[in-house]
Amino acid sequence: MERKCFLLVVVLAMFLVGCSGIGLPDTEAPITDEEKIENIINDFFQALNERNWDKAKSYCVIDSIWYDFVSDFERFVNENINDTYILEYSLSISRIYITGCTCKKIGIVFGEFFISLTKNGELQGFEEWGIITLDKSDNDWQLFSDELPTGLVI
């Protein structure tokens, strides 16, 4: 009798612990560098689309070609403030390659990247890239260049 009571208490205790949520905490898998890079690129182009210039610049290394691209684009839009703009972009990432040491990492993204600007119904121009290079500082990735780093062989 005592043994049956003990087993019943053990089974009930296990059941109640399982229902109370006590146990191993739910943990999410950490975001990989590849996922971070893809998110940064998407967020950058989305910020451009929303004309959130400061946010777009925050995804770029200061004085890089991407930072200057945002500054030039912002200036163009502000000089023609009464016009209607449509910014369209398309991103198709085929491969992300990360290289470097623990102190300095570079992410190279291969794919097809396209952006076009229409002003008052007329296509003003477009840009196409096949490579986007990012630099990792601390734990953050930032857009840096549209070329392979000098001397890098993949």
Q: How much of the chain, in percent, has pLDDT values that exceed 90?
A: 23
Judge whether residue 147 has pLDDT over 90.
no
Identify the CATH number of the domain defined by range 32-145: 3.10.450.50
**Residue 34 belongs to what H/E stretch?**
helix 33-49
Judge whether residue 7 has pLDDT over 80.
no
Please name the residue that has the structure tokens 């009930």.
Answer: 12
Give the span between the Cα atoms of 42 and 90, in whole angstroms: 10
**Domains in the chain: boundaries:** 32-145
Question: What pLDDT, in 10s, does the model give residues 54-85?
Answer: 999 999 999 999 999 999 989 988 888 788 87
Tell me, what's the pLDDT at 21? 52
Tell me, what's the pLDDT at 103? 65
Per-residue confidence at 31, pLDDT binned at 50, 70, 90?
confident
Q: How much of the chain, in percent, has pLDDT values that exceed 70?
A: 78
Contact in structure between 128 and 112 (CB atoms under 8 Å): yes
pTM: 0.72
Question: What pLDDT, in 10s, does the model give residues 86-121?
Answer: 788 888 888 988 888 666 788 888 888 888 888 888
Number of H helices, E strands in the chain: 4, 4
